Structure 1
Amino acid sequence: MEPKASCPTAAPLVERKFHVLVGVTGSVAALKSPLLVSKLLDIPGLEVAVVTTERAKHFYSPQDIPVTLYSDADEWETCVIRAWDRSKPLLFCPAMNTAMWEHPITAQQVDQLKAFGYVEIPCVAKKLVCGDEGLGAMAEVGTIVDKVKEVLFQHSGFQQS
């Protein structure tokens, strides 16, 4: 998320633009992508783009995402994260079935992301599409949007509404 002045000759209180990149991978949680993007667009001063894997598109219609959609046939997230400017916030929302969530490798990976300073929006417990009941469902859209607002406020003085 990066502030950008809309016009250098504008009035002293220049509207700030914040850029949010939403990454979507091949999880059933991708179903929430259109709603998440729509709710993020309700935040004044926020510009949103989406990068998605081809597998993620099986869970939603790209026409339902009202912003620029970047697509890649490969799993892109490691490249995006490795190239990320670490002075800027990065939030991640894990989503997987309960067995995957409970695997020790998952805890190591989540801990590593947090060690880099990235912010976890924890998964929640519920009955999952696969039939499992337990942790693994992506956080609710409202929770994610609230966390984005909180992080914007902490990192830039963004005015919460």
Structure 2
Amino acid sequence: MKNIILGVSGSIAAYKAADLANTFTKEGHAVHVIMTASAQQFITPITFQTLTKNKVYTEMFDEIIYEDVRHISLAQKVDIALIAPATANIIGKLAAGIADDMLTTVIMAIQKKPIVICPAMNTAMYENPVTQDNIKKLSGYGYQFVEPREARLACGDLGKGALANLDAIIAAVHRLLEQGAIV
């Protein structure tokens, strides 16, 4: 059994993260979901709690546990972190070193473990030079990306920006879990 953090940010593709949580849980992994406030506009925490049988983290300070600093303890026990879907906002925050919510704080505290980011956004946002620079920057730090696919997007546009096929995301997670820690 591996410990997987599944970060969910605010994209219409957030509902697909439920399938990822369900798949990894059925494989016997402990899935710990962290949702941004925007993600909660698309799907509720109870969905993930039901699928994973674990607490879903939505707030940085929703509980005070004196023997445990939650964002650090989650980061220390993780075998892999996956952000799916990852918006331009979350990618930008991570590239800038901004840790202002539970998801970005936990990700910033992870050391020597794989972090997989699965972008999902409008084509113009994905192709924006700022987003592309942020992806290059994070890739340089060792973050792994599963490229979005071309499809008809929720806004009606046709282009690259749809969340990668779930099989591709699952395969990337499996491959990185087999490889182990990043040195």
- TM-score tier (shorter): 0.7 to 0.9
Aligned 8 A contact 2:35 2:103 in 1? no
Structure 2 gap segments, 5+ residues each: 61-99
Indicate yes or no: 2:51 matched with 1:64.
no
Deviation (angstroms), 1:41: 1.2
Greater fraction of residues in helix: 2
- From 135, 142, 152, the counterpart of 2:167: 142
Spell out the pairing of 1:52-131 with structure 2 (5 A cutoff): 52-65=35-48, 66-67=51-52, 68-72=55-59, 75-85=101-111, 87-131=112-156
Q: State TM-score, norm by structure 1.
A: 0.79
Structure 1 gap segments, 5+ residues each: 1-16, 157-161
Query: Counterpart of 2:168 in structure 1: which amino acid?
Result: T
- Partner residue in 1 for 2:178: 153
Deviations 1:18-64 (A, max 9, x none): 111011111111111211100111223x2111000121112123222
Q: State TM-score, norm by structure 2.
A: 0.70
Deviation (angstroms), 1:75: 4.4
Alpha-carbon distance between aligned partners in 1 of 2:147 and 2:59, rounded to the nearest angstrom: 26
Work out which of the two has the higher radius of gyration on C-alpha atoms and give 1 or 2: 1
Q: Report the CA distance shift for 1:90/1:58 in structure 2 as closer, same or farther (over 3 A).
A: same
Alpha-carbon distance between aligned partners in 1 of 2:57 and 2:12, rounded to the nearest angstrom: 19
The higher-RCO structure (CA 8 Å, 6+ apart) is 2
Aligned length: 138
Aligned 8 A contact 2:58 2:102 in 1? no
Q: Report the CA distance shift for 1:91/1:142 in structure 2 as closer, same or farther (over 3 A).
A: same
